[in-house]
């Protein structure tokens, strides 16, 4: 089934550049921090009485109007000096790349290695490395300053409407402030209520926070597949998904060239990159879960830590004792990582090596500040299986592991379901907050019905909006191809935009101090028939414009 990949195809990935229609990229620095340059997207409006409108921007330098992108160089390493200034890290000769890292391919089938690599860094002498360790020590990092300015959309003080907006919303016990200060960010990170996923080996990163007292975030999954895609396509998928609003990207690649593909993605990514290391570990043992070993897994973790992956999904909550709880399910174990670990546990009749070696995993991840995304390997794969004992037993274990990881100095978020009917969504959130000490929740949907293959961005967008309102900090997108096939470019865009809708609807309902400004600006444009402003203030100006032009193409109709 593998597509034949020619080296020539992989030489220089081409990526989408240029501003999003009707807007331009600007950078804003908080007072006294000229080295902290926070990106924003500024939308010019046609009504002179309306000021330009600034929105949060995830798209990286690719949307600068004169973007000089050289994917062979990678993005500027904006955080290198910050990391070096704080100290406590050492540069060292990293682990040698092995043929198995790329699926034992060679010659023409091997994707070209990224040409501009640096030696990796790691924590040294037990000094603080992670954002959590600095936060606990009372140190406000540059990343925290960056995040605060970013969440405020560059504002230097609270909006006049902030207090009334908050009072007007319902945040179910969240503690969203009128204005985000660097100290607030530090405090949220120190309490474990927010994370700033930022591997010290990913200095190209534009820092962002995941936590329920910040704007709700969206993750987009990409992944090469043995069947259809190339390195070039994967880099472009990352660029494409952040263009439309992906806050983080998970690289779920399998098959060959995993290592080299990931390097190209990381070096060109301004957003945190997450992975599921067990996927690569499985490739290294020929796809047979039974052959997995702790040593192999450990080596894969280090490989990916050195490359700069920002968060790892680790299914350490799939304990041997829980597997039988899935026996009566309609859809058994649907998480790929969960299923791999269940097979291993049952074949060896042993406790999960991820659970048994959790301390060591923490030590490794701490040394690079890789955040945990504790995976829900027993998440329900159907409405019938929602909120069952298997799911909640695992969630309780994730709570236990959260505390261990925190003690080790690691940042943690928790993954959540899956398929859940609307009436059973809130208990997921409430239980997660209670079991996991308010560590950020990161959910896949949830899908609120199983009956609409081809439309699961919508079945899940409903659940995502609701759980985002209830307190989920980041929503993992679902595309229209979910359950059916691999998403293409249009599917990725549809998935991201759908989830930006869900995230924003959640921000609005929580009473976020600034969220409604964009709705109001767009509604004024709509009421005034300022068509261009309506398009440009929307999440997808191109589609709005095209839809309008289909039936009312005349220019006159757009300014009437």
C-beta closer to its own copies: residue 43 or 144: 43
Q: Which stretch binds its own copies (CB under 8 A): 92-100, 152-160, 261-269, 542-550?
A: 542-550
**Buried b / exposed e across 289-306, counting CB within 10 Å, b at 16+?**
beebeeebbbbbbbbbbb
One character per residue 352-381, x = contact with its own copies (rule: CB under 8 A)? -----------------------------x
Q: Which stretch binds its own copies (CB under 8 A): 200-208, 251-259, 431-439, 483-491?
A: 483-491
One character per residue 440-479, x = contact with its own copies (rule: CB under 8 A)? --------xxxxxxxx-xxx-xx--xx--x----------
Residue 135 has φ and ψ, to the nearest 5°, of -60, -45
State the angle between helix axes of 258-267 and 277-284 in degrees (0 to 180), rounded to the nearest 10. 150
Q: Which stretch binds its own copies (CB under 8 A): 117-125, 313-321, 337-345, 536-544?
A: 536-544
Torsion of CA 481, 486, 490, 491, to 10 degrees: 30
C-beta closer to its own copies: residue 263 or 540: 540
Query: Does residue number 417 form part of the binding site for its own copies (CB under 8 A)?
Result: no
Query: Does residue number 540 form part of the binding site for its own copies (CB under 8 A)?
Result: yes
Query: Does residue number 481 form part of the binding site for its own copies (CB under 8 A)?
Result: yes
Judged by CB under 8 A, which of 321, 347, 422, 560 binds its own copies? Answer: 422
C-beta closer to its own copies: residue 243 or 504: 504
C-beta closer to its own copies: residue 83 or 502: 502
What sign results for the dihedral spanned by CA atoms 183, 408, 130, 470? negative
Could you tell me if 480 and 454 are in contact, meaning their C-beta atoms sit under 8 angstroms apart? yes
- Positions 115 through 154 that interact with its own copies (CB under 8 A): none
C-beta closer to its own copies: residue 11 or 546: 546
Ranges of beta strands (E only) in 119-234 are: 121-123, 194-195, 210-211, 217-222
Could you tell me if 343 and 289 are in contact, meaning their C-beta atoms sit under 8 angstroms apart? yes
C-beta closer to its own copies: residue 103 or 480: 480
C-beta closer to its own copies: residue 169 or 192: 169
Q: Smallest distance, Å, CB 506 to its own copies?
A: 7
Query: Does residue number 529 form part of the binding site for its own copies (CB under 8 A)?
Result: no
Could you tell me if 524 and 49 are in contact, meaning their C-beta atoms sit under 8 angstroms apart? no
- Positions 320 through 339 that interact with its own copies (CB under 8 A): 330-332, 334
Q: What is the 3-state secondary structure (H, E, C) of 454-488?
A: CCHHHHHHHHHHHHHHHCCCEEECCCCCCCCCCCC
Q: Smallest distance, Å, CB 207 to its own copies?
A: 25
The β-bridge relationship of strands 371-374 and 311-314 is parallel
Query: Does residue number 77 form part of the binding site for its own copies (CB under 8 A)?
Result: no
Query: Does residue number 287 form part of the binding site for its own copies (CB under 8 A)?
Result: no
Query: Does residue number 509 form part of the binding site for its own copies (CB under 8 A)?
Result: yes
Strand partners for 55: 41
Q: Which stretch binds its own copies (CB under 8 A): 12-20, 296-304, 434-442, 507-515?
A: 507-515
Query: Does residue number 71 form part of the binding site for its own copies (CB under 8 A)?
Result: no
Tokens of 536: 């440009």
Tokens of 121: 């860094």
C-beta closer to its own copies: residue 126 or 287: 287
45 to 300, 522, 524, 537, 544: CA distances (angstroms): 50, 10, 11, 9, 16
Judged by CB under 8 A, which of 35, 70, 85, 170 binds its own copies? Answer: 170
What sign results for the dihedral spanned by CA atoms 275, 388, 468, 436? negative
- Positions 228 through 247 that interact with its own copies (CB under 8 A): 228
Q: Smallest distance, Å, CB 199 to its own copies?
A: 32
C-beta closer to its own copies: residue 70 or 520: 520
Q: Which stretch binds its own copies (CB under 8 A): 42-50, 198-206, 352-360, 548-556?
A: 548-556
C-beta closer to its own copies: residue 399 or 468: 468
Residue 10: burial class (beta carbons within 10 Å; 0-12, 13-18, 19+): buried
CA 114 to the chain's CA centroid? 23
Could you tell me if 446 and 464 are in contact, meaning their C-beta atoms sit under 8 angstroms apart? yes
C-beta closer to its own copies: residue 122 or 329: 329
**Buried b / exposed e across 241-279, counting CB within 10 Å, b at 16+?**
bbbbbbbbbbbbbbbbbbbbbbbbbbbbbbbbbbbbbbb
Cα–Cα distance, 139 to 520 (Å, whole number): 38
């Amino acid at each position: 089934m593998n597509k034949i990949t020619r080296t020539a195809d992989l030489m220089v990935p081409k990526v989408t550049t240029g501003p999003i229609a009707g807007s331009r990229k600007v950078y804003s620095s908080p007072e006294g921090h000229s080295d902290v340059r926070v990106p924003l997207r500024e939308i010019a409006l046609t009504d002179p009485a309306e000021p330009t409108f600034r929105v949060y921007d995830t798209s990286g330098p690719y949307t600068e109007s004169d973007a000089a992108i050289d994917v062979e160089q990678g993005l500027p390493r904006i955080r290198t000096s910050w990391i070096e200034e704080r100290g406590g890290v050492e540069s060292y000769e990293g682990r040698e790349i092995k043929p198995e890292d790329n699926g034992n391919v060679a010659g023409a089938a091997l994707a070209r290695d990224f040409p501009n690599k640096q030696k990796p860094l790691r924590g040294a002498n037990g000094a603080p490395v992670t954002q959590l360790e600095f936060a606990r020590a009372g140190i406000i990092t540059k990343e925290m300053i960056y995040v605060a300015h970013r969440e405020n959309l560059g504002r230097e003080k609270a909006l006049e409407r902030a207090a009334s907006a908050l009072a007007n919303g319902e945040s179910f016990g969240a503690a969203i402030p009128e204005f985000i200060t660097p100290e607030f960010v530090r405090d949220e990170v120190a309490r474990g209520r927010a994370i700033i996923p930022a591997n010290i080996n990913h200095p190209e990163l534009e820092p962002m926070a995941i936590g329920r007292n910040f704007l709700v975030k969206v993750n987009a999954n990409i992944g090469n597949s043995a069947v259809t895609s190339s390195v070039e396509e994967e880099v472009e998928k990352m660029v494409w998904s952040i263009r439309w609003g992906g806050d983080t990207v998970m690289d779920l690649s399998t098959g060959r060239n995993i290592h080299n593909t990931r390097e190209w993605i990381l070096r060109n990514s301004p957003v945190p990159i997450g992975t599921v290391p067990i996927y690569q570990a499985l490739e290294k043992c020929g796809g047979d879960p039974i052959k997995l070993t702790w040593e192999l897994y450990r080596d894969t973790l280090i490989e990916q830590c050195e490359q700069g992956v920002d968060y790892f999904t680790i299914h350490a909550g799939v304990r041997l004792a829980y597997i039988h709880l899935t026996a009566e399910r309609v859809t058994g174990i649907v998480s790929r990582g969960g299923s791999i670990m269940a097979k291993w546990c049952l074949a060896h009749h042993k406790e999960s090596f991820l659970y048994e070696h959790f301390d060591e995993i923490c030590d490794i991840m701490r040394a690079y500040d890789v955040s945990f995304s504790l995976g829900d390997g027993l998440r329900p794969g159907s409405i019938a299986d929602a909120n069952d004992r298997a799911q909640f037993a695992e969630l309780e274990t994730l709570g236990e592991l959260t505390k261990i990881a925190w003690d080790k100095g690691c940042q943690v978020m928790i993954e959540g379901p899956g398929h859940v009917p609307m009436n059973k969504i809130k208990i997921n959130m409430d239980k997660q907050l209670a079991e996991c000490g308010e560590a950020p929740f990161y959910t896949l949907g949830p899908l609120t019905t199983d009956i609409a293959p081809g439309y699961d961005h919508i079945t899940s967008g409903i659940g995502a909006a609701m759980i985002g309102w209830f307190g989920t900090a980041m929503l993992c997108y679902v595309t229209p191809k979910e359950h059916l096939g691999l998403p293409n470019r249009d599917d990725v865009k549809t998935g991201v935009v759908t989830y930006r809708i869900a995230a924003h609807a959640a921000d609005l309902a929580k009473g976020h101090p600034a969220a409604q400004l964009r709705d109001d600006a767009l509604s004024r444009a709509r009421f005034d028939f300022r068509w261009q402003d309506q398009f440009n203030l929307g999440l997808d100006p191109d589609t709005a414009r095209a839809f309008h032009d289909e039936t009312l193409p005349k220019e006159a109709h757009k300014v009437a």
